[in-house]
Amino acid sequence: MASSSSSSSSSLHFLIFFFLAFASAVFLSESNQPLFKPDNLLLPARKDGATNLHMASIRKRNPQTLLQFLIDLNGRFLWVNCDQNYVSSTYHGPSCYSAQCSRANSDQHCYTCSFKVRPGCHNSTCALMSVNPVSHQSAMGELAQDVLSIQSIRDESNPGPIVTVPHFLFVCAPSRLLQIGLPEYVQGVAGLGHISIALPTQLASHFGFKPKFALCFTSSFKHPGFIFFGDAPSYMFPGIDVSRQMRYTPLMISRLGEYYIDVRSMRINQKTVPLTTTPYTVLERSIYQSFTQFFTDQLSHISQIPPVAPFSVCYDSRKFPNTIAGPGVPKIDDLVLGDQSVVWTIFGANSMVQAQPGVLCLGFLDGGLHTRDSIVIGAYQLEDNLVDFDLYDSRLGFSSSLLFQRTSCANFNSKPTP
């Protein structure tokens, strides 16, 4: 963050350099570990059976506690319930107008709390608004710092040591914010949006790697997928080179740090489209209607059966052959991206949802008439795709279905230590 300055301050620079060198020497002798600077970090990401949302397991606090967080691709930071059972010797609430509050963009508001002092309840800390992306409820909370620990990866695929960010910034939100739309075991929301205190930004700046992360959402309820921080993995188990499959399109960031890609095609007609972690892709009504019309026309020889909510186009699953990439239904080439030569093809595994045993439904939802965005790409359509958010070069990479490569998001090469 140091700004450029004239040569007269070179001695000051030297002092700062000296202090940093000294501080890291102390750190080394205290931790008694050889210096290890990871280029990649890994978080396991599980799919929740009840909600079809994807959850990350994150180690926080001192002593280390493993907590479950909803992954919110466009979330602005990590927030957690501190009302109950927050035990940690390293919790700190920076005071308002501090550098941390300014970094978190909350320098205008000082937090007050009328209850007993505890993590999440102090006067004159700084306040930030947390949002539950499922229920859209929001609440004020206290900006806080505590230890975050995470699995590092060596040489792209072998697990390295667990590394820590000692002063990771997050928000303590009231527990009522978790009560609607989230499974009971979830303790908070991990925001992956593009702002200074979001999880990917803090990890990249702390460890000094490029601001990049890759998502690989699993379709399995048994085997986790992953979020990979740093350069996207080139290989997936068993030694499959996925880097050759990656196609890239420009990635755009909204004022609020949300991710958008440009979709052009005859039916969708040049719209910027956000990627989200809502369970299914949501289409504005007119797009939904022409999209489902086009899809059902191609399947006109197969009769539809009564739909299972929230879907409206469903078939008897016995009518479709099984293929390597899910039910053999017409593939969807609708997502023509960027310069028109980049097509994200959606196959049966990402278009058809088993809504009940024996019932397959088209996994896209009608968003109604007045949607903020005409298309919102949901997590189901991203499953078993490696999706690379390259914020260094402002581009989004996607592999299309890994199932065709005979691998999946549950097949990351590395076996994280339990």
Ligand X SMILES: *[C@@H]1O[C@H](CO)[C@@H](O)[C@H](O)[C@H]1NC(C)=O
Q: Is the dihedral of CA 358, 362, 367, 372 positive or negative?
A: positive
- What's CA 60's distance to the chain center, in Å? 18
* Residue 199 three-state SS: helix
Shortest Cβ distance from residue 5 to ligand X (Å)?
40
Shortest Cβ distance from residue 76 to ligand X (Å)?
25
Name which of residues 366 to 385 contact ligand X (CB under 6 A): none
Shortest Cβ distance from residue 124 to ligand X (Å)?
8
- Of 116-124, 144-152, 264-272, 327-335: span binding ligand X (CB under 6 A): 116-124
Q: Enter the DSSP assignment of 4.
A: P
Would you give the binding string for ligand X spanning residues 86-115, x where CB under 6 A is met? --------------------------xxx-
**Distances, alpha carbon 144 to alpha carbons 173, 305, 389, 393, in Å:** 10, 52, 27, 31
Shortest Cβ distance from residue 292 to ligand X (Å)?
54
Residue 112 or 265: which CB sits closer to ligand X?
A: 112
* Alpha-carbon gap, residue 394 to 187, rounded angstroms: 31
Helix ranges, 69-156 (H): 99-103
Residue 25 or 117: which CB sits closer to ligand X?
A: 117
Q: Out of 121, 227, 342, 379, which residue is the one contacting ligand X (CB under 6 A)?
A: 121
Q: Out of 23, 25, 66, 117, which residue is the one contacting ligand X (CB under 6 A)?
A: 117
* Buried-state track 320-341, b at ≥16 Cβ within 10 A, e below 16: beeeebbbebebbebbbbbeee
Shortest Cβ distance from residue 174 to ligand X (Å)?
14
Shortest Cβ distance from residue 60 to ligand X (Å)?
22
- Of 101-109, 119-127, 167-175, 270-278: span binding ligand X (CB under 6 A): 119-127
* Alpha-carbon gap, residue 168 to 91, rounded angstroms: 10
Q: Out of 123, 196, 220, 371, which residue is the one contacting ligand X (CB under 6 A)?
A: 123
Shortest Cβ distance from residue 166 to ligand X (Å)?
25
Shortest Cβ distance from residue 7 to ligand X (Å)?
48
Shortest Cβ distance from residue 139 to ligand X (Å)?
17
Shortest Cβ distance from residue 122 to ligand X (Å)?
5
Residue 140 or 240: which CB sits closer to ligand X?
A: 140
Residue 121 or 353: which CB sits closer to ligand X?
A: 121
* Alpha-carbon gap, residue 283 to 376, rounded angstroms: 7
* Alpha-carbon gap, residue 350 to 381, rounded angstroms: 5
Q: List the end-to-end C-alpha distance of the chain, in Å, as a whole number.
A: 36
Residue 139 or 253: which CB sits closer to ligand X?
A: 139
Q: What is the dihedral of CA 247, 252, 253, 255, to 10 degrees?
A: -170
Size of the residue set binding ligand X (CB under 6 A) = 7
Establish if 122 lies at the interface with ligand X (CB under 6 A): yes
Strands 225-229 and 212-216 come out as: antiparallel
**Distances, alpha carbon 344 to alpha carbons 98, 195, 294, 365, in Å:** 45, 27, 17, 19
- Closest-by-Cβ residue to ligand X is 123
Residue 27 or 97: which CB sits closer to ligand X?
A: 97
Residue 102 or 123: which CB sits closer to ligand X?
A: 123
Is 224 exposed, middle or buried (CB count within 10 Å of its CB: 0-12, 13-18, 19+)?
buried
Shortest Cβ distance from residue 207 to ligand X (Å)?
34
Residue 105 or 123: which CB sits closer to ligand X?
A: 123
Q: What is the DSSP string of 91-109?
A: -B-PBTTSHHHHHTT-TT-
Residue 43 or 113: which CB sits closer to ligand X?
A: 113
**Residues sharing a CB contact under 8 Å with residue 57, sequence separation 6 or more, in sequence order:** 43, 44, 46, 66, 67, 68, 69, 224
* Residue 22 three-state SS: helix
Residue 58 or 126: which CB sits closer to ligand X?
A: 126
Residue 99 or 117: which CB sits closer to ligand X?
A: 117
**Contacting positions for ligand X (CB under 6 A):** 112-114, 117, 121-123
